[in-house]
């Protein structure tokens, strides 16, 4: 949680942290969005240990800056026109501006740098700053960095927001299911009242409209893939293809709340009218692993151990798992889930190959999403809920949606 | 253009370039999207000078990898499970994986790094790589980096795509104008057929629907701001406020094509029914500066000089400009425009304070967007087209939309 940041900085002996909010990336820059409390603006957040965050903002964005609730420092505190006259080279000017900022705001010692940036710019700037400012040591953190560690446990307000995003995402999925039920079956396809085939592209358009009505957006897209595509985890689906009866349809939706920036992530596998031979069995295997993993969730449990359990259930049912072979073309070919919040994929690893030491803890929010993929049989199944461990340690799915495989449809 | 990359690498004495495509950022990672020809996937592109680009991709994304047309190298060429067993620390494992990749693909010498990344991860990884691989020198580029320089001039296919995105963006703006014209005026407000006020939130919903129909998305939002908000360049507009007659409305729309990733950027200023006192004069001043700048466009012209010309026109008409005072609260308070492509803001600077040496050249695409802002008078005006300099040097607006201030409306 955000209130842990000073403690996390102390553990890493960081004297200050700088969070970069460059142009063009605000919503793809989760560390930044976290620190500015969801506001949409560019700038720089600077925090010295045990001091409040300071937001350096541009005059053009002063309304957004006021929304953040942070201590405000306008960029115009520094005389940039004078700096660029003295330093015509843009890198030199940027270094001089940073030098003055760090000096005036008391930033020195070990300084962690966070936020999303252009790699080429950051490497050049960090190198030049390091030379120009001997009193500052820029620190990179690869794993368990201050911001991601703070983000890993959500506070009550974040959990409430994420539960709400979950309910609205389920409403979108329900809209799609209701639409399909209201169509007809003909010649192995789903057709509308006029007998025209319903295509995957039409479903995608319906999904986007339903997302918009719920004030959600899908910056990473949506997967609605059937048949062979369902057997490839990240295939997004052929838009012109008609919706077929009986085929496996993997519907994986991971939208972001337009207001708060928080993501939800859920997957249901459907078959329209009936399930093709073998699909129900595959579905039952995935559901069994899902249920066993969910039943094992509690504070302190190792997420690496959860992946091992999922592999065990699926191996006992004669599927290949990444514990056995790698890379896999068919079977259970990915890991069990991931943390989720202002990014759709956040730390809280559930990897197969190594125990990274992550555990379920109060405040963590993560997906559980076992799956089985058989492109050679034109099928795949994935079941996924976003799940939270509440502050009191109880486990709660944020995805209140049934797990029925078959969507009934009339002739 | 992409075919310039080898030459740009030679000028910078770069032996190889690495473009990072991390998870969660694909569409916000323009350098990556450029190199993978618009495909949506994660991975790594490596290019040695005078050799073809190689795409290192994950098996789960092989369909998307095939779309790129690049030479394909699966991640599974390297035995990651064995690496993580030897190097349980994730940074150590990543360094070892990179070491093997660079070795096997012949990457050494001066290596430029590009793409959007988490600052903390990149600093840690670059530092560790530098220690582990003495035969590699990672190079940061702050300004005029290889990828941005290549992107600065568009080829014919890119220009055709951007012209198409412009036409579709204009269709969205036309939809909004047509909607407003079809409403009624009552008590100083715009009301619908039932007499209910039309709100700014309703206009935003209409914009989103129209964007979706045109296969466009607005990841950076849309500005539709009236009155005092119109006087603040980056205010996005109060959703609950009713649409008022006579007030300045700044409508700035900068959508991205869902298929190709290319942006368009245009602004029109409107007043519904009539223009409030003084607004037409303000509009005429902005239009005069817009027209004079556009008339001055030709290959070789300095973009810094264009900003100077815009300032001169507006100063002669008694407005403050950034050449006179900085920071400015009112008047012409920003720069003239920016390059545009796979990012809404790309290099091709038009800054006030220093001549960065940019010129209009065949293949460049950029916005021209002078504006005047008087929040104390509850008004602001901006006029913006996306403009290209064609390969034959002719100047062409990609924003075929009229410049009328007043939208007529019935009682």
Contact B24 A63 (CB under 8 A): no
Contact A123 B114 (CB under 8 A): no
- pLDDT value at residue B3: 95
Residues of chain A contacting residue B94, judged by C-beta atoms under 8 Å apart: 142
Query: Quick one: closest CA in B to A20, which residue?
Result: B119
Contact B60 A89 (CB under 8 A): no
Residues of chain B contacting residue A333, judged by C-beta atoms under 8 Å apart: 59-60
- pLDDT value at residue B117: 95
- pLDDT value at residue A231: 85
Q: Using CB atoms, which residue from B75, B120, B327 is nearest to A59?
A: B327
Contact B142 A356 (CB under 8 A): no
Q: Which residues are paired to A75 by β-bridges? A: none
Interface test with B, best of A5, A31, A118 (most B CBs within 10 A): A118
Residues of chain A contacting residue B20, judged by C-beta atoms under 8 Å apart: 119
Contact A116 B121 (CB under 8 A): no
Question: Which residues make up the CATH 3.90.230.10 domain(s) of chain B?
Answer: 157-407
Percentage of chain B surpassing pLDDT 90? 85
3-state SS of A235-275 is: CCCCCCCECECCCCEEEEECCEECCCCCECCEEEEEEECCC
Q: Using CB atoms, which residue from B80, B124, B140 is nearest to A120?
A: B140
Question: Phi first, then psi: what are they for B316, rounded to 5°?
Answer: -60, -25
Contact A117 B122 (CB under 8 A): yes
Do residues B386 and B398 make contact, with C-beta atoms less than 8 angstroms apart?
Answer: yes
- What is the model's pTM? 0.93
DSSP at B276? P
| Distances A121 to A9, A45, A129, A140, B143 between C-alpha atoms, Å | 25, 18, 12, 15, 8
Query: Quick one: closest CA in A to B79, which residue?
Result: A326
- pLDDT value at residue B63: 86
Average pLDDT over residues A34-38: 94
Tokens of B379: 């008004």
Contact A122 B143 (CB under 8 A): no
CATH of A2-150, one of 3.40.50.300, 3.40.50.1370, 3.40.350.10, 3.40.1160.10: 3.40.350.10
> Does A226 or A325 have the greater pLDDT score?
A226
What's the pLDDT band for B325 if we cut at 50, 70, 90?
confident
Average pLDDT over residues A39-66: 94
What's the pLDDT band for B237 if we cut at 50, 70, 90?
low
Non-local (6+) Cβ contacts of B341 within 8 A are B30, B151, B154, B158, B162, B262, B263, B365
Percentage of chain B surpassing pLDDT 70? 99
Tokens of B46: 């490596």
- pLDDT value at residue B236: 67
**Taking 80 as the threshold, does the pLDDT of residue A233 lie above it?**
no
Contact A80 B345 (CB under 8 A): no
Query: Quick one: closest CA in A to B325, which residue?
Result: A81
CATH of B157-407, one of 3.90.230.10, 3.40.640.10, 3.20.20.70, 3.40.50.11540: 3.90.230.10
B150–chain A nearest CA distance, Å: 14
Average pLDDT over residues B194-217: 95
- pLDDT value at residue B27: 77
For A137-141, A347-351, B147-151, which range has the lowest pLDDT when averaged over its residues? A347-351
* pLDDT tens digits for range B79-133: 998 999 999 899 999 999 999 999 999 999 999 999 999 999 999 999 999 999 9
- pLDDT value at residue A269: 98
Query: Quick one: closest CA in B to A349, which residue?
Result: B90
Query: Quick one: closest CA in B to A88, which residue?
Result: B354
Say whether the ipTM exceeds 0.90.
yes
Average pLDDT over residues A132-140: 96
* pLDDT tens digits for range A275-285: 999 999 999 99
Contact A120 B143 (CB under 8 A): no
- pLDDT value at residue B357: 87
Question: Which residues make up the CATH 3.40.350.10 domain(s) of chain A?
Answer: 2-150
Mention the CATH class of domain A153-407: alpha beta
What's the pLDDT band for B297 if we cut at 50, 70, 90?
very high
A392–chain B nearest CA distance, Å: 31
Q: Which residues are paired to B73 by β-bridges? A: B56
Mean pLDDT of chain A, nearest integer: 94
Residues of chain B contacting residue A63, judged by C-beta atoms under 8 Å apart: 232, 234-235
Contacts 24+ apart (CB under 8 A), B282-287: B282/B248, B282/B372, B282/B374, B282/B379, B282/B381, B283/B381, B283/B383, B283/B405, B285/B313, B285/B314, B285/B317, B285/B319, B285/B372, B285/B381, B286/B314, B286/B370, B286/B371, B286/B372, B286/B381, B286/B382, B286/B383, B287/B383, B287/B403
Interface test with A, best of B142, B213, B241, B331 (most A CBs within 10 A): B142
d(CA B373, CA B386): 21
Residues of chain A contacting residue B9, judged by C-beta atoms under 8 Å apart: none
Could you tell me if residue B83 is left (phi over 0), alpha (psi between -120 and 50 degrees) or otherwise beta? alpha
- pLDDT value at residue A237: 67
A150–chain B nearest CA distance, Å: 14
Q: Using CB atoms, which residue from B59, B64, B212 is nearest to A327?
A: B59
**Taking 90 as the threshold, does the pLDDT of residue A193 lie above it?**
yes
> Does A27 or A116 have the greater pLDDT score?
A116
**Taking 70 as the threshold, does the pLDDT of residue A236 lie above it?**
no
Question: Which residues make up the CATH 3.90.230.10 domain(s) of chain A?
Answer: 153-407
Query: Quick one: closest CA in B to A78, which residue?
Result: B327
**Taking 90 as the threshold, does the pLDDT of residue B238 lie above it?**
no
**Taking 70 as the threshold, does the pLDDT of residue B324 lie above it?**
yes
């Amino acid at each position: 949680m955000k209130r842990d940041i000073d403690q996390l900085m102390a553990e890493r002996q960081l004297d200050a942290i700088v969070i970069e909010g460059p142009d063009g990336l605000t919503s793809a820059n989760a560390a930044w969005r976290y620190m500015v409390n969801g506001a949409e603006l560019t700038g720089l957040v600077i925090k010295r240990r045990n001091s409040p965050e300071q937001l350096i903002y541009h005059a053009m964005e002063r309304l957004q800056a006021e929304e953040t609730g942070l201590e405000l420092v306008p960029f115009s505190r520094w005389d940039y026109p004078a700096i660029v006259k003295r330093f015509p080279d843009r890198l030199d000017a940027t270094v001089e501006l940073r030098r003055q900022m760090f000096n005036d705001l008391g930033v020195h010692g070990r300084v962690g740098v966070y936020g999303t940036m252009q790699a080429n710019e950051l490497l050049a700037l960090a190198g030049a700053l390091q030379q120009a400012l001997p009193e500052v040591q820029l620190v990179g953190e690869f794993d368990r960095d201050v911001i991601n560690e703070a983000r890993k446990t959500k506070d009550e307000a974040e959990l409430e927001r994420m539960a709400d995003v979950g309910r609205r995402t389920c409403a979108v999925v329900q809209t799609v299911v209701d639409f399909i039920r209201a169509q007809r079956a003909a010649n192995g396809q789903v057709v509308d009242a006029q007998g025209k085939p319903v295509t995957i592209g039409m479903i995608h358009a319906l999904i986007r409209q339903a997302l918009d009505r719920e004030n959600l957006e899908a910056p990473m897209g949506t997967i609605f893939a059937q048949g062979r595509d369902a057997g490839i985890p990240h295939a997004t689906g052929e838009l012109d293809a008609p919706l077929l009866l009986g085929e496996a349809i993997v519907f994986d939706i991971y939208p972001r709340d337009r207001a708060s920036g928080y993501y939800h992530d859920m997957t249901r596998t459907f078959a329209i009218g009936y399930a093709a031979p073998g699909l129900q069995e595959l579905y039952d295997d995935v559901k069994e692993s899902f249920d066993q993993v969910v039943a094992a969730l509690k504070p302190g449990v190792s997420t690496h151990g959860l992946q091992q359990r999922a592999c065990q259930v699926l191996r006992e049912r004669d599927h290949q798992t990444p514990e056995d072979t790698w890379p896999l073309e068919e079977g259970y070919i990915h890991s069990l889930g991931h943390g989720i919040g202002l990014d759709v994929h956040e730390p809280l690893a559930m990897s197969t190959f190594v125990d990274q030491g992550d555990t379920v803890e109060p405040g963590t929010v993560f997906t559980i999403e076992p799956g089985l993929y058989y492109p050679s049989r034109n099928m795949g199944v994935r079941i996924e809920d976003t799940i939270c461990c509440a502050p009191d340690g109880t486990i709660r799915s944020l995805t209140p949606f049934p797990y029925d495989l078959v969507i009934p449809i009339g002739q």
